[in-house]
Chain A
Amino acid sequence: MANPKTNFAPAIQVFKPHRASLPPLIPYLKEFWRRRAFAIELSRFADKAEYLDSKLGKVWLVMNPLLLAFVYFLLVTVIRGGSTQKTGLSTLAHILIGLFTFYFASNSINGGALSITAGGRLILNQAFPRALLPLSSSISAFWQFLPTLPVYVLVVVIGKVFFPHTQIPGLRLSYLWAPFIILCVGITGYGMGLLFATMNVYFRDTNKLLSYITRIWLYSSPVLWRPEILHGWHKIFLYINPLGPSLAATSDVWIEGRTPSLGMLVGSVVWALLAVLIGGYFFVSRERDFAVRI
């Protein structure tokens, strides 16, 4: 008879012909929640396996975006024709925090996009809610993102010592908004990861396309430029970008030291919800088809 441990999963499961439609959502979400440890451990073990031999490997995770930020900083200041002491550090800080946050989302999307096609054996031989695999990629992206925050703080603190006239604020209450915005970025990244993971099952070159999309996306996001340069109807470019509001809010919190505007906060939440609902719908309604197509 059914084992008492199966309380969460329905004791009786019925498998019917698959049409591109959602499975019963409540059992799916219960099973998803019950198996969350799998996604967490999968991410932890993948990380462990990757950096088992190289202790420097983890340092590179931080160094890579840090060096990239310096490159972009040079580029931006050269194009603009130099900057004063007052604006120089804040430009660097803005690029740093923007790039770190952007990379959190894009790592989550890129990792998620590959998670299904790379997890072929697992998908062919085990039944579980497939949305756990992109989740595992998002968790990995988060653990890569986290150590970049102290690096940001370190750069700003050192910068403030050498350039006391900078605009960058010290400790502010506005920093309390940071976890909320990071959560929005994380959910947006996960949702888009689900969407691209589904696409990658049907078109295997999606991830190649994705690398171009990511680059264009970065340039059109308020990372290398300040959100304040957009005025009037141009502000629409912030709102139609899934990461626009949350990156603008990031800049408000970390660089301006103020509470993000209501528009940006609502925009961040709306994009997070849209991403996870649309991505989730595409993914979950097609995931029973994945085993056939892999």
Chain B
Amino acid sequence: MPEELAIRIEDLSIKYKINIDTKKTLKNAVMRASKGEKVRTRIVEAVKHLTLDVPHGSVLGIVGANGAGKSTLMRAIAGILPPTEGQITVNGKISTLLALGVGFNPALSGRDNIILGGLASGMTRAEIEEKTEEIADFAALPDGFIDMPVRTYSSGMYGRVAFSVAVNMTPDILLLDEALSAGDASFKEKSFNRMRELCAEARTIVIVSHALQTVNDLCDSAIWMHKGNMLAKGKPEAIVDQYLKFLDVGTLPSNLEDM
């Protein structure tokens, strides 16, 4: 793979088999076998023959309607879901924020969860201990909340802690799925600035977002996915325009006001 590429995706297809009928239990399997029945399944093609190169230091936005395969693609890049066909080559350390608060334990304090979240995403104990204060400061929770159990947090506060862990990890490649919607306006601005910093440090970022203004502002290229296919790739403004036209809503302010 060429040196300047962070991610190379070659002819990637991902298919799932979904079990429609019953729960997957040993009991059901035996019952079905005794009756000679077959399991009714459905194949879902989440990503179809996608080829894409993402150079180091670029910020790629992915837009598309629900069920377009965006999250599946992100999970495949992170190495969580195996490709069904094709291959993905990744050069660098990946940090993911695919869902908020993964690995968090609601009974533990925010500080404990920062350590747990950091370890879950691959930091060493020394690295995360060194950064805990910085991450806690970045989350900037109201007085004393950082030492209270996470279950007492509002969802905004929860999101702030989770987001802070992911963006303070100095990854080479950062994968964000709908993460910028965490927190209030001031935190959004802060996270936006942090994203810009990360961009400036020449890190590679892939963002999935329905907040199209974010894609316009942060990304230097974008792709539009629909039902597993990549329909278009290019400058973010052009892609967002096409996507909006497709949605047949034009550039209504409601799509753009949410950063």
Contacts and interface: CB of A to CB of B under 8 A. Distances in A.
Contact of B83 (A2, A16, A206): A16
Contacts of B75: 124-125, 291
Contacts of B17: 292
A116 to B, nearest CB: 13
Interface stretch (B115-123, B185-193, B221-229, B231-239): B115-123
A124 B98 contact: yes
A126 B92 contact: no
A205 B79 contact: no
A111 B223 CA distance: 43
B99 A121 contact: yes
A15 B120 contact: no
16 contacts: A3-B93, A6-B93, A9-B122, A13-B79, A14-B87, A15-B82, A15-B87, A16-B87, A35-B122, A37-B119, A38-B119, A45-B105, A46-B105, A126-B103, A127-B78, A203-B25
B96 A127 contact: yes
- The 10 A-B pairs of least Cβ separation, nearest first, read A18-B82, A49-B107, A205-B25, A203-B26, A127-B79, A38-B119, A125-B102, A125-B98, A15-B88, A6-B93
B152 interface: no
A293 to B, nearest CB: 8
Given A16-B83, A202-B24, A292-B16, A2 B88 contact: no
A275 to B, nearest CB: 21
Contacts of A125: 75, 80, 96, 98-99, 102
A49 to B, nearest CB: 4
A50 B108 CA distance: 9
Interface string B203-244: 000000000000000000000000000000000000000000
Interface string B67-110: 00000000110111111111111111110101100110101100
Nearest to A119: B103
Contacts of B92: 1-3, 6, 11
Nearest to A16: B87
A42 interface: yes
Given A15-B83, A126-B103, A289-B82, A41 B116 contact: yes
A6 B170 CA distance: 11
Contacts of B87: 14-17
Interface residues of B, number: 51
A78 interface: no
A171 interface: no
Contacts of B90: 12-15
A49 B149 CA distance: 10
B245 interface: no
A174 B19 CA distance: 55
Contacts of A17: 82-87
Interface in A1-47: 1-3, 5-6, 9, 11-18, 34-35, 37-38, 41-42, 45-46
B25 A204 contact: yes
A124 B116 contact: no
A166 B190 CA distance: 72
Contacts of A2: 91-93, 172
| Most A-side CB within 10 Å, residue of B29, B102, B171 | B102
B25 A288 contact: no
A292 B81 contact: yes
B1 A12 contact: yes
B112 interface: yes
Contacts of B124: 34, 37
A47 to B, nearest CB: 11
A11 B23 contact: no
A204 B172 contact: no
Contacts of A49: 105, 107-108
Contacts of B32: none
B83 to A, nearest CB: 5
B49 interface: no
A207 to B, nearest CB: 11
B196 interface: no
A199 to B, nearest CB: 8
Contacts of A50: 107
A118 interface: no
Nearest to A290: B80
Contacts of B127: 5
B27 interface: yes
B48 interface: no
Given A18-B82, A37-B125, A291-B75, 15 more contacts: A14-B87, A15-B87, A15-B88, A16-B83, A17-B87, A34-B124, A124-B80, A124-B98, A125-B99, A126-B78, A126-B102, A127-B94, A203-B25, A203-B26, A204-B24
Given A45-B112, A203-B29, A292-B16, A1 B82 contact: no
Contact of A122 (B103, B107, B172): B103
A52 to B, nearest CB: 6
Contacts of A3: 92-93, 170-172
